[in-house]
Every structure is written in structure tokens, then in C-alpha cells.
Amino acid sequence: MSTFTLPLAGRAGQLVGSVIDSSTSLLAAQRHDVVRFAMGSPAAEFVPVGVFNDIAATVHDASSYAYGATEGEPRLLRALLGHLATTPEPSSSDRITITSGGMQGLDLACKLFVDPGDLVVVESPTYTNGSATALSYGARLLEVPMDADGLDVDELERLVAESGRTPKAIYTIPNFQNPSGTTLSTPRRIRLIELARRWNAVIIDDDPYGLLRFDGEDLAGFRELSGNDPLVFSVRTFSKILAPGLRVGWVDADPSLRQLVINAKQAMDTCANVPAQHVVAEFILRGGLDAHLDRLRVEYRRRKEAMMASLHRHLAGRIRTTDPEGGFFLWVTLLGEDAAVDTRRLFEIALAEGVAFIPGPALSAGGRFADAFRLCFASSDPERTDVGVRRLAAALDLARAE
């Protein structure tokens, strides 16, 4: 047998893979009943399957299965713009391109702005599928710490000065951040815009959860605060507010970028899935989205509160958590002697006990946060959540005893 080396491109070595996504296959392979706090999935029982099926049944002609326009199906664009007009982020048709989910929006942003070797700022912790996208284009990542008000902009300025380089892009998740659940404060949003202007860096504004605020007041987004600065590139998705398997999202970018976005997308996948766009468009046009969002906000608040109560019941004094005002996630940090437990090991024990989460190091570009983990409160009802948290506490006792 001859031995040979495949002629892989250099960038193949920069594809780091996703621990988050791998947990889907890992959990599918589990034979026992696992409480799933790992994936950031909307609750299955809130996906409007009946309405989706009714809409899909109205498709009678082959045009719904033909190639569609790269910028998106006209009915979806119209429906989306109509919906956005009722939110804090109205937009216009020269700014929006429909994508295959939020991940493609991130890919488009990095494809357009990141050259090999460019410095890209990421939050620490961050959504590592997003930082992985930047890495796939050869980015060098600069991890910047966060606190209860989101990305620490003073630290950002200091770390950039220390690096002796100027970032090309700042990747931020401003609302109910994945994974920490924290929201970037308004003064910091304004400072971030100032810094981006000073460095001529694009702000990759990834906000899948903004419409899922269940407490407090909406904050103005980067686009509004910056007066539509072309440096703001916004990535949005229907994955968290409707269903992730649809793979439908959108980017909202300066009109001067529109053709470039379309050119880049044409080289990827021609157009987003047309039947899925049809389902989303009709769902919105039938007037279902507002009521759906209202319901989600009520339910997710209930679920978050239930998870906080269960954590208090079973792990009081052993952990510290964030307290998100929306979205899907809580960030848990182990305290005292428990802090010596590596949450990657805790994950293995917890899985055997029947509960899954994402360990901190999988959510940091540099593998930090061995004493922390992310819990998704959105997918499980309060009773199930309590079962999961009880198992988590048992797993922590076992890990401590090792």
C-alpha cells in the first residue's frame, strides 16, 4: 500500500471544529435519558410545527423548489422588513440579504473582512463557532474579558495597545450573550463604536437573541447608536425565534456592501433553502410571529427562573451564576473547593448521571474557564430542569470525591 499525504490547503489546518455542535451527535448516541442543557435549542414544544405543516401543504407548484434569488425570496424580504418595522431595529430592502442561518452571516462577514493574519477581537467567553469562523479565514484572535456589563472596553483598548496591532474586526454578541447571558451596556456600546471607528474595524454584531428579552428594557443597537455606520455588520437568524433546522437568517449591512455580500453568497450556496424561506414568510405574513415571540418571552422567563431556583435548591453556596434578562443561557462558575473541579471532567461524569452542559473551555478561544460551564435553560420545562440540576449536583459530588 502506498502512503501519501492529501494535498490539503493550509486553511484546512485552521478548521477547529465545534464542541457545541458535536454535543448534538454525542447526545443522539446516548441510550439513556439525558437532560439537555447543552445545545442552544429552542424548546421543541414551542416550535409551531402545525402551522409550518399547513403552510408547507399549500405549496403546489415547482417554482417553490426552483433556485431562488440570492438576496432572498421577495415575499420573505417583504415580510421580514414589515416585522422589523415593529421592532427597535427597522431596516430597508437595500440592507438585507437572507442567509442560510446565522452561521452563514458570520462566514460572510469574515470572508469580506478577514485576511490571513488579521487580528479579530472576540469576547471571553464567546460563541466559539463564531470565533472558529474567523479562524477558518486565518484570523489571529484577541480574547477580551467580560463582566456583568458585557465586553470590558477598557481592557479591550489596553490589550489592543499591548498587542501593538490594530484589529480588523470586533466580534460581539451584545444581547444575552452566548454563553455568558450578559448584555453589553449602552455606554460600552458607544465606546465600542468609537474604538471601531478609530481602528477602522468592522463590528460583527451577532444578535440571535435580541428579540427574546423577557426582563428590563430594550437597548439601542449598534446601528442606531452609530447612525447607520457602515462599520456595523449585523448577523441575525430565525433559529432561536422559530426553529434552527430551517436554516434561515439574514444579514443587515451597509448598502455599499450589498453586492459583495451577494457575490460571496453566490460562491457558497446560490440561495438559502427556498421552501424554508416560504414557510418563514407565510408564518410572518399570517401574523403569527408577534404572538409567538410574546409566548416565548413569557415561557423563557419562567424557565430561567425555574433554573435559578433549582440551582439555588441543589447547589447553593457552591456556584455563582449570571442573571440574564433574555435569551437562552446561564453561565455558572464553581466556587470554593468545587472550583478545583475541571468542568471537562465534570461533563463526563454528568453525562453518565444523565445531564449535559457545555464546559467552559469549549466556549473560550484559548480554552479558559475550566471552572465554569454554560447551561441552556430554554429547552427544558421546569420539572425536567429540576431533575437535571439534581443530577448535576450529584455529578459535582462525584467529581469532588475523585
- Residues 26 to 45: which contact ligand PMP by CB under 6 A? 40
CA-angle at 22, arms to 16 and 25, nearest 5°: 150
Helical axes 101-113 vs 258-266, angle rounded to 10°: 110
- Residues 196 to 215: which contact ligand PMP by CB under 6 A? 206, 208
Out of 249, 326, 359, 360, which residue is the one contacting ligand PMP (CB under 6 A)?
249
Stretch that binds ligand PMP, among 96-104, 143-151, 164-172, 181-189 (CB under 6 A): 96-104
Stretch that binds ligand PMP, among 135-143, 159-167, 236-244, 332-340 (CB under 6 A): 236-244
237 touches ligand PMP by CB under 6 A: yes
Classify residue 245 as exposed, middle or buried by CB count within 10 Å of its CB (0-12, 13-18, 19+).
exposed
Out of 37, 52, 113, 127, which residue is the one contacting ligand PMP (CB under 6 A)?
127
Stretch that binds ligand PMP, among 81-89, 95-103, 194-202, 281-289 (CB under 6 A): 95-103
Decide whether 42 or 361 has the Cβ nearer to ligand PMP: 42
Using alpha carbons, list the distances in angstroms from residue 370 to 139, 373, 374: 24, 8, 11
Decide whether 248 or 341 has the Cβ nearer to ligand PMP: 248
Out of 48, 68, 221, 244, which residue is the one contacting ligand PMP (CB under 6 A)?
244
Phi, psi of 153 (to 5 degrees): -70, -30
Out of 84, 173, 192, 350, which residue is the one contacting ligand PMP (CB under 6 A)?
173
Query: What does the block give as the cell for 6?
Result: 492529501
239 touches ligand PMP by CB under 6 A: yes
Contact by Cβ (8 Å): 373, 346: yes
Rounded distance, CA 38 to CA 53, Å? 28
Nearest approach, Cβ of residue 161 and ligand PMP (Å): 28
Out of 48, 68, 72, 102, which residue is the one contacting ligand PMP (CB under 6 A)?
102
Identify whether 361 is preceded by a cis peptide bond (ω within 30 of 0): no
Strand (E) or helix (H) holding 225: helix 222-225
Decide whether 268 or 309 has the Cβ nearer to ligand PMP: 268
- Residues 34 to 93: which contact ligand PMP by CB under 6 A? 40
Decide whether 100 or 385 has the Cβ nearer to ligand PMP: 100
326 touches ligand PMP by CB under 6 A: no
150 touches ligand PMP by CB under 6 A: no
Rounded distance, CA 151 to CA 392, Å? 29
Identify whether 255 is preceded by a cis peptide bond (ω within 30 of 0): no
Adjacency order of strands within the sheet including 319-321: 319-321, 329-334, 372-376, 358-359
Cα-to-chain-centroid distance, residue 53: 27
Rounded distance, CA 55 to CA 48, Å? 11
Name the site residues for ligand PMP (rule: CB under 6 A): 40, 101-103, 127, 130, 173, 178, 206, 208, 237, 239, 244, 249
